[in-house]
Amino acid sequence: MSGLCGVVSREHCPEILMFGTDYHSHLGSQLGGMAVLGERFEKKIHDITQGSFKFRFSKDVQEMVGTMGIGVVSDSDAQPLLIRSRFGLYALAMTGLIGNKDALARELLDRGTVFTESSEGGINGIELLARLIDRGGDLAEGLASVYDAIEGAASMLLLDNDGILAARDRLGRSPLIIGERGDDLMVASESIALISLGFTPVKELGPGEIVRISHDGYRVVRAPAQAMRICAFLWIYTGYPAASYEGIGVEGVRERCGAALVRRDPVQADLAAGVPDSGTGHGIGYASAAGIPFRRALVKYTPGYGRSYIPSSQSARDHVARMKLIAVPEVVRGASMVLCEDSIVRGTQLANHTIQKLWSAGAREIHMRAACPPLMFPCRYGFSTRALEELVARRAIRSLEGDMSGNLERYLDEDSPEHARMVEWIRTMLKVTTLRYQRLDDMIAAIGLPADRLCTYCWTGKACGYREVGPD
Ligand code: SF4
């Protein structure tokens, strides 16, 4: 996952670009980068696993000079890259996933293309995109040609001498929003970056739309397509509570998810709580609809942790995450509670630590509620889980069927006995009193977009790349 930010300003822009990019820190935790254009291009890339984006770049922005720039936080490729091409020098950053990276790279290598950057031992995806862009008649055409070439998703920012080209993914899987502040323009993956820095959102790019942002304003250079499959998980988990996409606020969706869980399955409980932070909105919605208090059964202890220390191994990261969550005995002791969580991915953290802490603090009953259906497929567009075996629902199926894909269609049917057995297996593993998952149609209704405008692949396994969706 990655988050993008770009600025075109009348003034010196590195500092505002740094803050704008930093507001995307929830979308990437491995690498951060900035490219700024003044008299010349300047680029910096840092490891941000041991410190926040703004901490890592605070010294650089004192030295960088320019009125236009792009920034990115990323979990994979080092970016932005500076590309010397037949269109001149430019900087490029992207969010998404190139599912057919190896095949595309092989095709280009066979034609004599040379790759100089590497990423995780392979070809850097940003450099691959640049080689695809090279095939267009101009930069905008090149960006559009990326849409046709890749399997996966890609929203991109390209900085050249004329400004920034902002290109939203072909099916709008991830958002890009433009904001104005006086003569200055910012484009960002997250609307909160704009709003928090005093920019007024003026345009959300449509699917596949490409916009040129310059000192003269912004203009559309490729019209948006009709078909859209924006990531539904943005509202459920990945998005920041104050953000909105397609004009629909994240927190409101989470509250409606909580309310939908009550309508399907009210439970007698003393209170509702959420696993912080992303379960909080769902918990508030549940409490409000059920007419019971929302209370903070779990709180996060962040001072001293935050982003100032992120260990390199998964087990050490789990350890830190577990230390950050604390049960509040005064709230929990003797209580029957509904505990809302955005989703249950692996379930190990919940089972081994979070729920254990609530029992230890004296909980009487724990009714676990997940705001989305069981995650059944790894994301193939670069926005969430990457491995099938990580998913607790698949581990349940393997335990029940002897194979992770055994009888899969039956487990996908929310009304089947197999689905019920899978949920019961997960309930036992989590050691909770009851467990219910949101139904897919309730989740879609809570978001409020038609089902055929959303990507729901990780729950349904129904591929919805542009090849499946068909021509616009
Ligand atoms: S597969 Fe899931 S996480 Fe990935 S884009 Fe689709 S809805 Fe989002």
pLDDT in tens, 44-71: 999 998 889 999 999 999 999 999 999 9
**What average pLDDT does range 281-298 have in this prediction?**
98
DSSP string, 89-124: EEEEEEEEEETTHHHHHHHHHHTT-----EETTEE-
- Asked whether residue 429 carries a pLDDT value surpassing 90, the answer given is yes
- Specify whether 191 is located in the same domain as 275: no
- Specify whether 347 is located in the same domain as 436: yes
User: Which ligand 1 atom sits nearest the alpha carbon of residue 153?
Assistant: 5
Q: Do the domain assignments include residue 359?
A: yes
Q: Is the peptide bond before 80 cis (omega within 30 degrees of 0)?
A: yes
Query: Is the C-beta atom of 173 inside 6 A of ligand 1?
Result: yes
Q: Which CB contacts under 8 angstroms, 24+ apart, belong to 464-471?
A: 464/171, 464/229, 465/151, 465/152, 465/171, 465/380, 466/147, 466/170, 466/171, 466/227, 467/151, 469/171, 469/227, 469/229, 470/227
State which of 377, 385, 455 you would mutate to test the pocket of ligand 1, scoring each by most atoms of that ligand within 8 A of its C-beta.
Answer: 455
- Specify whether 289 is located in the same domain as 421: yes
pLDDT tens-digit readout, 312-338: 555 666 666 667 899 999 999 999 999
- Specify whether 205 is located in the same domain as 332: no
- d(CA 231, ligand 1 centre) in Å: 5
Count how many domains the chain has. Answer: 2
Q: 305: pLDDT confidence band, cut at 50, 70 and 90?
A: low
Q: Do the domain assignments include residue 103?
A: yes
- Specify whether 156 is located in the same domain as 267: no
Q: Do the domain assignments include residue 20?
A: yes
Domain of residue 266: give its range. Answer: 244-469
Q: Do the domain assignments include residue 374?
A: yes
Q: Which residues pair with 222 in a beta bridge?
A: 210
Q: Do the domain assignments include residue 231?
A: no
Q: Angle CA(55)–CA(57)–CA(63) in degrees, nearest 5?
A: 135
Q: 400: pLDDT confidence band, cut at 50, 70 and 90?
A: very high
**Contact between residue 163 and residue 215 where contact means Cβ atoms under 8 Å apart:** yes
- Asked whether residue 309 carries a pLDDT value surpassing 80, the answer given is no
- Specify whether 346 is located in the same domain as 439: yes
The C-alpha atoms of residue 219 and residue 286 are separated, in whole angstroms, by 43
Q: Do the domain assignments include residue 235?
A: no
> DSSP alpha helices (H): ranges in 160-249?
191-196, 233
- Specify whether 157 is located in the same domain as 291: no
Q: Do the domain assignments include residue 260?
A: yes
- Specify whether 277 is located in the same domain as 196: no
CATH number for the domain harbouring residue 366: 3.40.50.2020
- Asked whether residue 77 carries a pLDDT value surpassing 90, the answer given is no
First and final CA of the chain: distance in angstroms?
Answer: 26
Q: Angle CA(245)–CA(235)–CA(261) in degrees, nearest 5?
A: 140
Last residue of a domain, one of 162, 191, 225: 225
CATH number for the domain harbouring residue 47: 3.60.20.10
- Specify whether 248 is located in the same domain as 219: no
Query: Is the C-beta atom of 458 inside 6 A of ligand 1?
Result: yes
Last residue of a domain, one of 160, 194, 225: 225
Q: Do the domain assignments include residue 234?
A: no
The C-alpha atoms of residue 320 and residue 243 are separated, in whole angstroms, by 27
- d(CA 199, ligand 1 centre) in Å: 29
User: Which ligand 1 atom sits nearest the alpha carbon of residue 464?
Assistant: 6
Last residue of a domain, one of 194, 225, 256: 225
The C-alpha atoms of residue 139 and residue 166 are separated, in whole angstroms, by 11
Return the number of other C-beta atoms located less than 10 Å from residue 398's C-beta: 15
pLDDT score, position 12? 96
Return the number of other C-beta atoms located less than 10 Å from residue 459's C-beta: 25
Core vs surface per residue 237-255: b (16+ CB within 10 A) or e:
bbbbeebbbbebbbbbbbb
Query: Is the C-beta atom of 253 inside 6 A of ligand 1?
Result: no
The C-alpha atoms of residue 168 and residue 195 are separated, in whole angstroms, by 20
3-class secondary-structure state, position 65: coil
- The contacts of residue 432 (CB under 8 Å, 6+ apart) are 339, 355, 366, 367, 368
State which of 372, 458, 462, 464 you would mutate to test the pocket of ligand 1, scoring each by most atoms of that ligand within 8 A of its C-beta.
Answer: 458
Query: Is the C-beta atom of 381 inside 6 A of ligand 1?
Result: yes
pLDDT tens-digit readout, 152-189: 999 999 999 999 999 999 999 999 999 999 999 999 99
Q: Angle CA(354)–CA(356)–CA(362) in degrees, nearest 5?
A: 110
State which of 2, 169, 233, 235 you would mutate to test the pocket of ligand 1, scoring each by most atoms of that ligand within 8 A of its C-beta.
Answer: 233
- Specify whether 217 is located in the same domain as 307: no
- Specify whether 176 is located in the same domain as 253: no
Chain centroid to Cα 318, Å, comes to 20
- Specify whether 359 is located in the same domain as 218: no
DSSP string, 331-359: HHTT-EEEEEES--SS-HHIIIIIHHHHH
